[in-house]
């Protein structure tokens, strides 16, 4: 009987330890729309656990996300809106960003080792006297109108910096998209992942509980047409 109660306690503690974790599991066309989990988003193999190693290739598309597997590719036009949705709302404070990387051939075959450019940041809003983060269950973005047509990896990341002094956590997913009706602008600046984020970045090391009045989201500047 004692062993039974110990087992229950272990299960409860394990559930508690991941209760604040989350995963971007669906991608859909349109604003504030919820898609089918893992239809257009690569399926990860670490449940809803974060990536914490800045040198890991898992920073690209999460653990298990190096290839498309059975993931479908979503057709979008340049200028279309799209929405990533989660299994539960973002729970940890920190920025959320959107990145894209043009696939050499198909999005399903891309491993994320190419060039990435950032298309949006959700950083903190300090207008109310203290930092307010966008912590929600859906994040809507727009495909830049001027980028070349073709297939892309569409990446979303949440950087959790809620625990100063501990290793920040990355919650990452990649969707697969095919862009039509694009332009001829080659986006810049571009970065490699891993490599885009440093342990010395102010946005990576920030203490959000001590004199927190400004913030720079890690990574490159946002590309706009």
Contact 93, 208 (CB under 8 A): yes
What is the distance between the terminal CA atoms of the chain, rounded to a whole angstrom? 65
Could you give the CA distance from residue 120 to residue 196 in angstroms, rounded to a whole number?
A: 15
Q: What confidence tens digit (pLDDT) does each residue in 112-148 have?
A: 999 999 999 999 999 988 899 999 999 999 999 999 9
Could you give the CA distance from residue 129 to residue 38 in angstroms, rounded to a whole number?
A: 39
Question: Cα–Cα distances in Å, from 220 out to 43, 115, 139, 153, 195?
Answer: 26, 12, 20, 17, 11
At residue 128, the pLDDT reads 81
Looking at residue 142, the DSSP 8-state letter turns out to be E
At residue 2, the pLDDT reads 39
Q: What confidence tens digit (pLDDT) does each residue in 151-205 have?
A: 999 999 999 999 999 999 999 999 999 999 999 999 999 999 999 999 999 999 9
Q: What confidence tens digit (pLDDT) does each residue in 133-142 have?
A: 999 999 999 9
23-205 classified as CATH 2.60.40.1240: no
Mean pLDDT, the chain, integer: 92
Query: pLDDT-derived band of residue 6, with 50, 70 and 90 as boundaries?
Result: very low
At residue 8, the pLDDT reads 36
At residue 5, the pLDDT reads 34
């Amino acid at each position: 009987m004692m062993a039974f109660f110990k087992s229950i306690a272990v299960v409860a503690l394990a559930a508690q330890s991941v209760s604040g974790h989350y995963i971007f599991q669906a991608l859909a066309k349109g604003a504030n729309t919820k898609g089918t989990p893992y239809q257009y988003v690569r399926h990860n193999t670490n449940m809803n656990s974060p990536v914490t190693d800045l040198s890991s290739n898992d920073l690209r598309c999460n653990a298990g996300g190096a290839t498309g597997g059975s993931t479908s590719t979503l057709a979008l036009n340049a200028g279309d809106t799209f929405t990533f949705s989660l299994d539960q709302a973002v729970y940890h404070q920190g920025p959320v960003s959107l990145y894209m990387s043009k696939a050499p051939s198909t999005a399903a075959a891309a491993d994320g080792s190419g060039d990435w450019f950032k298309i949006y940041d959700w950083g903190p809003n300090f207008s109310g006297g203290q930092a307010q983060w966008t912590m929600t269950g859906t994040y809507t973005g727009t495909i830049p109108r001027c980028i070349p047509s073709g297939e892309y990896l569409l990446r979303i990341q949440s950087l959790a910096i809620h625990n100063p002094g501990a290793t920040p956590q990355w919650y990452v997913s990649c969707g697969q998209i095919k862009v039509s009706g694009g332009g001829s602008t080659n986006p810049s600046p571009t970065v490699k992942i891993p490599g885009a984020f440093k342990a010395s970045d102010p946005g990576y090391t920030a203490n959000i509980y001590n004199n927190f009045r400004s913030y720079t989201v890690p990574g490159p500047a946002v590309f706009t047409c």
